[in-house]
Homo-oligomer: A and B are copies of this chain.
Amino acid sequence: MATKNAIHPHYYHLPAVHKTRLPATAQAYQDYAIGKNPRQKSANRAVKLAESLSNILNLQIETTIQRSLNRSNLDVLSIEEKHNTPTTSPKEDISAKWREIHGSRDWDDLLDPLHPWLRREIVKYGEFAQATYDAFDFDAFSEYCGSCMYNRHKLFDKLGLTKTGYNVTQYIYAMSHIDLPQWLEKSRFVDTWSKDSNWMGFVAVSDDQESKRIGRRDIVVAWRGTVAPSEWYDNMQRKLEPIGHGDSKVEHGFLSIYTSKSDFTRYNKSSASEQVMREVKKLVDYYQKIGEQVSLTITGHSLGGALGLLNAYEAAKNFPNLPISVVSFASPRVGNIAFRDELYQMGIKTLRVTMKQDVVPRMPGIVFNESLQRFDDITGTLEWVYTHVGVELKLDVRSSPYLKKGLNLVGFHMLETYLHLVDGYHSSDSGFRADAKRDVALVNKDCDMLVDELRIPPNWYQLANKGLERNDHGRWVKPKRDPEDIPSPTMESHNYHELELGDSYGIGSWFGVSI
């Protein structure tokens, strides 16, 4: 180390050759502008994309000047120090205020500035939604592609969510009778756990300690969405279907995923709708019978937020007196004005967390043109009746000094980016919270949004050797999954002994489609 900068003038040496490089900032901007392809031409395409986007969506794309300004706010040293600080504050007892936190007064006076108790609850539900991504088997070379990698008893342990004080009671599987390109994650092989269904989320319930802290027994339904917007929103059918018995209509792709079932499948002999309603009813009945106050909180990101709204609608029909709220992240529009009004009338409270730079909450209304790599405004062609519901918490990627500001369609939509911004959110007119504690590194799990100074590699969330392990003979093989983690169609048992009950409950009968 001593000789690091030592110069030996008596030594002859050739003149150093310097490559013509961009300054680090510009380089990083170019390399990572769209977070996937580290080639200059991509950066150019990103810039074009930025222009067309800002024209269509009035996004304020950062300039490098704004960016460097922003980055100068970043004290990297303080981040290094943060490595040895806790990632959460001590939990407060919010039981006295739980109804307001749950939205009973539409989060009036709680959002701007954001109440710290509410912030913690939003992050808690967001992490349940994130779990549906982190535990999902995306490996097309796995016979279990499209399932959850762990059984419901291990899920929270594996993901470090045990401290949340909730227990998973049921997994949800979904299929679709409508062809939704790029929605269903499928194994490449025939001998797979399921050809038709994907793991779509879970039902969980708060344990005694957490229930005491939050003032009631909280049932949570977390819906999985899709990782990258382009996976599905350019394929949205933009076709409305009636729901219930009134004028309410919803996007029929979402409805299909929520309500499809087939006896020829193992995991969707009952639909996602039936699976969820059955489990929620079981829990509500049980806890109400022993005299507890019960609430239902539904969460989801992107497509998952849309499914959550259908779920809430159905739950309100089935449980008229149950406090129901939805905490959605980056959710697109789902239905028409009549649908929104019906949700209001039923007392469903919806907190919509959105981001100024994310395009998905503006869907339907624009579509992503995969081949042309640009957005097309289809307001003209679209039967323009979609509308948003509930209360909005609007985030801004520019508020965080940790984030790159170059256009990043994927990064702007990622749930971890949302959770980071919620953690740092104080009010609409203030900067990032100095005492935000959540681990910033999580943002780069599946994208490239963190400024280089943080030294967190992009897209770092990955298995060692993609799950291959070296056996005793030195051969790299994919180990068999633990039998306990192989998805089993447990719903089927319910399906039979609870069938009457299910029917008498008219599950799914609210929908225009017969199931």
List the interface of chain A (C-beta within 8 A of B).
3-4, 7-8, 11, 13-17, 19-20, 24, 28, 41, 82-87, 139, 141, 160, 176-179, 181, 188-189, 196, 260-264, 266, 269, 371, 439, 441-442, 452, 455-457, 459-468, 470-471, 473-478, 489, 492, 515
Shortest Cβ distance from residue A323 to the other chain B in the assembled complex, whole angstroms = 31
Q: Which 5 A-B pairs have the closest CB atoms?
A: A464-B464, A441-B476, A460-B466, A457-B466, A11-B263
Q: Which residues of B contact A452 (CB under 8 A)?
A: 141, 188-189
Q: Which residues of B contact A470 (CB under 8 A)?
A: 160
Tell me the bound Cα distance from A457 to B468 in angstroms. Answer: 9
Q: Which residues of B contact A87 (CB under 8 A)?
A: 473-475
Minimal Cβ-Cβ distance residue in B for A18: B179
Contact across chains for B439 and A476 when beta carbons are under 8 A apart: yes
Contact across chains for B83 and A473 when beta carbons are under 8 A apart: yes
Q: Which residues of B contact A141 (CB under 8 A)?
A: 452, 455-457
Minimal Cβ-Cβ distance residue in B for A195: B16
Minimal Cβ-Cβ distance residue in B for A184: B19
Shortest Cβ distance from residue A366 to the other chain B in the assembled complex, whole angstroms = 21
Minimal Cβ-Cβ distance residue in B for A87: B474
Q: Which residues of B contact A465 (CB under 8 A)?
A: 460-462
Contact across chains for A84 and B473 when beta carbons are under 8 A apart: yes
Q: Which residues of B contact A86 (CB under 8 A)?
A: 473-474
Contact across chains for B41 and A474 when beta carbons are under 8 A apart: no
Contact across chains for A441 and B477 when beta carbons are under 8 A apart: yes
Contact across chains for B266 and A3 when beta carbons are under 8 A apart: yes
Contact across chains for A8 and B263 when beta carbons are under 8 A apart: yes
Contact across chains for A371 and B41 when beta carbons are under 8 A apart: yes
Contact across chains for B471 and A83 when beta carbons are under 8 A apart: yes
Q: Which residues of B contact A188 (CB under 8 A)?
A: 24, 28, 452
Shortest Cβ distance from residue A368 to the other chain B in the assembled complex, whole angstroms = 14
Contact across chains for A475 and B264 when beta carbons are under 8 A apart: no
Tell me the bound Cα distance from A279 to B28 in angstroms. Answer: 40
| Given known A7-B263, A177-B17, A178-B17, contact A477–B83 (CB-CB < 8 A) | yes
Shortest Cβ distance from residue A255 to the other chain B in the assembled complex, whole angstroms = 13
Tell me the bound Cα distance from A395 to B260 in angstroms. Answer: 52
Q: Which residues of B contact A457 (CB under 8 A)?
A: 139, 141, 466-468
Contact across chains for B466 and A463 when beta carbons are under 8 A apart: no
Tell me the bound Cα distance from A178 to B261 in angstroms. Answer: 65
- Given A439-B475, A439-B476, list of 6 further CB < 8 A pairs? A17-B179, A28-B188, A442-B476, A461-B465, A462-B465, A463-B464
Q: Which residues of B contact A439 (CB under 8 A)?
A: 474-476
Contact across chains for A260 and B14 when beta carbons are under 8 A apart: yes
Tell me the bound Cα distance from A492 to B3 in angstroms. Answer: 9
Contact across chains for B489 and A468 when beta carbons are under 8 A apart: no
Shortest Cβ distance from residue A5 to the other chain B in the assembled complex, whole angstroms = 9
Q: Which residues of B contact A441 (CB under 8 A)?
A: 468, 475-477
Q: Which residues of B contact A466 (CB under 8 A)?
A: 457, 459-460, 462
Q: Which residues of B contact A139 (CB under 8 A)?
A: 457
Instruction: Find the residue from A4, A20, A465 having the highest chain B CB count within 10 A.
Output: A465
Minimal Cβ-Cβ distance residue in B for A260: B14
Q: Which residues of B contact A264 (CB under 8 A)?
A: 7, 13, 16
Minimal Cβ-Cβ distance residue in B for A11: B263
Q: Which residues of B contact A477 (CB under 8 A)?
A: 83, 441
Q: Which residues of B contact A468 (CB under 8 A)?
A: 441, 456-457, 460
Shortest Cβ distance from residue A27 to the other chain B in the assembled complex, whole angstroms = 8
Minimal Cβ-Cβ distance residue in B for A514: B12
Contact across chains for A456 and B473 when beta carbons are under 8 A apart: no
Shortest Cβ distance from residue A6 to the other chain B in the assembled complex, whole angstroms = 8
Tell me the bound Cα distance from A188 to B27 in angstroms. Answer: 10
Q: Which residues of B contact A461 (CB under 8 A)?
A: 465
Q: Which residues of B contact A262 (CB under 8 A)?
A: 13-14, 16
Shortest Cβ distance from residue A22 to the other chain B in the assembled complex, whole angstroms = 12
Contact across chains for A462 and B460 when beta carbons are under 8 A apart: no
Tell me the bound Cα distance from A85 to B471 in angstroms. Answer: 10
Q: Which residues of B contact A179 (CB under 8 A)?
A: 17, 19-20
Instruction: Find the residue from A263, A452, A478 having the highest chain B CB count within 10 A.
Output: A263
Q: Which residues of B contact A189 (CB under 8 A)?
A: 452, 455
